[in-house]
């Protein structure tokens, strides 16, 4: 970079006409220019400079660097002016007391880098002044101290909130008859809850209550069991309801029953859930009542259900009607280890089960 600047110091452009654009041919990066006129047009020709030109300039560098703070300051650790600034927070842990304390708390600093603009404000925080009050507030609300690291990893933005705002949001839940135990569970399972204002939470609770015709106790039970449902996409809830009603064929009261038993279903991928129900209902011949009695079967991975069902079919033991002998419960299909399933449910061996899975 310095050598190029020294070379271009000796470039001279001779223009014959100021109203006509010049055309140039470059013979090298560092050049000395001279111009001649041919056919009444300015032409610029170039020649490489002699070695003595650069040698004279390079001799000046040591004297010019005497006052350079990057050279004389032994404590200076380096600078890279040619590169864009780095926002790698993990690389700053050794230099930041704040980040060191957050790491001791269990925070995964590298995950903060995936979130929008955390690097632009987090380094300006003071741990004692800005972070400790938030920690004390969460502990007072029942958040376990050993889960604070995960809490701040998922939601660093709470560090920008004031204690006054947080207290208002907790007081709102108390006004809606959420107990302290409910609030503790909500915050522990959903660190993002406190980012929502009381008005937004109130609108979302009202939407869920009206959509599923819930009583106050039922609404509080759903919000406590799966608090992420309340802060999730309302459009996603509508689409999932459409899937349960129009694509899977559940009645309104059955959908409500599913919600009260397994609200996690509304956070799953709709197309995968529909395909899973289709396999359970149309291939395994599992009726609606069985699904309602064991809604957890809808949360199990599809290939796990398929492997075990087809292995039972292979052994002529795929019988899911509780009124008939040799009944196999849907929970026995999805729970326990492969070894337990093969030995105690399929009445076979794990070796036979593994060999069968290889043929699928």
DSSP string, 20-39: S--EE---SSS-EEEEEEET
pTM metric for this prediction: 0.70
Would you say residue 27 has pLDDT above 70?
no
Name the band, by pLDDT with cuts 50, 70 and 90, for residue 118.
confident
Would you say residue 313 has pLDDT above 50?
yes
Instruction: Tell me whether residue 316 is exposed, middle or buried, using C-beta atoms within 10 angstroms of its C-beta: 0 to 12, 13 to 18, 19 or more.
Output: exposed
Whole-angstrom distance, CA of residue 164 vs CA of residue 122: 20
The average pLDDT across 74-101 equals: 59
Is 137 in contact with 143 (CB distance < 8 Å)?
no
- Closest of 201, 229, 205, 232 to residue 217, by C-alpha: 205
Name the band, by pLDDT with cuts 50, 70 and 90, for residue 12.
very low
The average pLDDT across 229-250 equals: 95
The CA-atom distances, in angstroms, between 251 and each of 12, 84, 215, 280, 291 are 86, 58, 19, 18, 13
pLDDT value for 290 = 93
The dihedrals phi and psi of 41, each to the nearest 5 degrees, come to -120, 140
Whole-angstrom distance, CA of residue 182 vs CA of residue 173: 9
Would you say residue 19 has pLDDT above 80?
no
- Closest of 122, 200, 124 to residue 157, by C-alpha: 122
DSSP label at 227? T
Sequence-ordered strand ranges (E) for 171-210: none
pLDDT value for 91 = 65
Using a CB cutoff of 8 Å and minimum separation of 24, what contacts does 12-21 make?
13/44, 14/42, 14/44, 15/42, 16/41, 16/42, 17/41, 17/42
| Residues with Cβ within 8 Å of residue 247, at least 6 apart in sequence | 274
Which of 46-60, 70-84, 163-177 is predicted with the least confidence, judged by mean pLDDT?
70-84
Question: Residues 331-360: pLDDT tens digits?
Answer: 999 988 999 999 999 999 999 999 999 998
Q: In this structure, how many other beta carbons lie within 10 angstroms of the beta carbon of residue 183?
A: 20
**What are the strands of the beta sheet with 23-24, ordered from one edge?**
23-24, 41-47, 32-38
Is 223 in contact with 229 (CB distance < 8 Å)?
yes
Write the DSSP assignment of 42-107 as a string of letters. EEEEEEPPPHHHHHHHHTTHHHHTTT-HHHH-TT-----TTSPPP--GGGGGGG-HHHHHHHHHT-
Report which of residues 259 and 60 the model is more confident about. Answer: 259
pLDDT value for 360 = 85
Describe the crossing of helices 163-175 and 198-212 by its angle, rounded to 10 degrees.
30
Of 11-15, 59-63, 81-85, 90-94, give the range with the top mean pLDDT: 90-94
Which of 10-14, 91-95, 102-106 is predicted with the least confidence, judged by mean pLDDT?
10-14
The average pLDDT across 180-198 equals: 95
Question: Residues 129-166: pLDDT tens digits?
Answer: 999 999 999 999 999 999 999 999 999 999 999 999 99
Q: Looking up tokens 């399972």, which residue turns up? A: 189
pLDDT value for 100 = 86
Report which of residues 88 and 38 the model is more confident about. Answer: 88
The average pLDDT across 96-114 equals: 84
What average pLDDT does the structure give for the chain? 80
pLDDT value for 89 = 67
pLDDT value for 103 = 86
Which of 23-37, 91-105, 116-130, 273-287 is predicted with the least confidence, judged by mean pLDDT?
23-37
Would you say residue 64 has pLDDT above 60?
no
Instruction: Tell me whether residue 75 is exposed, middle or buried, using C-beta atoms within 10 angstroms of its C-beta: 0 to 12, 13 to 18, 19 or more.
Output: exposed
pLDDT value for 345 = 93
**Which secondary structure element, helix H or strand E, spans residue 239, and what is its range?**
helix 234-242
């Amino acid at each position: 970079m310095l050598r190029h600047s020294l070379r271009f110091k000796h470039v001279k452009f001779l223009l014959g006409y100021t109203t006509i654009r010049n055309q140039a041919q470059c013979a090298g990066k560092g050049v000395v220019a001279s111009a001649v006129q041919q056919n009444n047009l300015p032409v610029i020709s170039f020649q490489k400079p002699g070695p003595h030109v650069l040698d004279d300039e390079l001799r000046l560098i040591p004297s010019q660097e005497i006052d350079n703070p990057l050279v004389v300051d032994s404590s200076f650790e380096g600078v890279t002016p040619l590169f864009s600034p780095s926002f790698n927070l993990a690389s700053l842990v050794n230099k930041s007391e704040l980040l060191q304390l957050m790491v001791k708390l269990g925070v995964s600093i590298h995950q903060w880098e995936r979130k929008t603009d955390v690097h632009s404000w987090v380094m300006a925080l003071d741990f004692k002044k800005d972070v400790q009050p938030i920690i004390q507030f969460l502990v007072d609300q029942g958040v376990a101290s050993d889960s604070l690291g995960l809490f701040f990893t998922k939601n660093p933005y709470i560090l920008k909130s004031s204690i006054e705002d947080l207290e208002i949001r907790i007081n709102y839940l108390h006004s809606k008859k959420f107990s302290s135990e409910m609030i503790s569970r909500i915050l522990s399972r959903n660190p993002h809850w406190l980012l929502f204002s009381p008005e937004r939470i109130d609108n979302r609770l009202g939407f869920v209550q009206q959509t599923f015709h819930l009583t106050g106790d039922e609404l509080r039970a759903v919000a406590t069991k799966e608090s992420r449902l309340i802060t999730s996409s309302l459009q996603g809830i509508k689409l999932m309801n459409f899937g349960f009603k129009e694509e899977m064929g559940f009645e309104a009261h059955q959908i409500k029953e599913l919600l009260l038993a397994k609200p996690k279903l509304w956070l799953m991928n709709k197309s995968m859930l529909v395909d899973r129900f289709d396999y359970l209902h149309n291939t395994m011949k599992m009726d609606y009542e069985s699904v309602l009695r064991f809604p957890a079967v809808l949360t199990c991975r599809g290939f796990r259900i398929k492997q075990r069902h087809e292995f039972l079919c292979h052994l002529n033991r795929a019988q899911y009607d509780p009124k008939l002998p040799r009944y196999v419960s849907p929970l026995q299909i999805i729970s326990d280890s492969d070894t337990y399933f093969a030995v105690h449910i399929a009445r076979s061996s794990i070796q036979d089960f593994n060999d069968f899975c290889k043929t699928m």
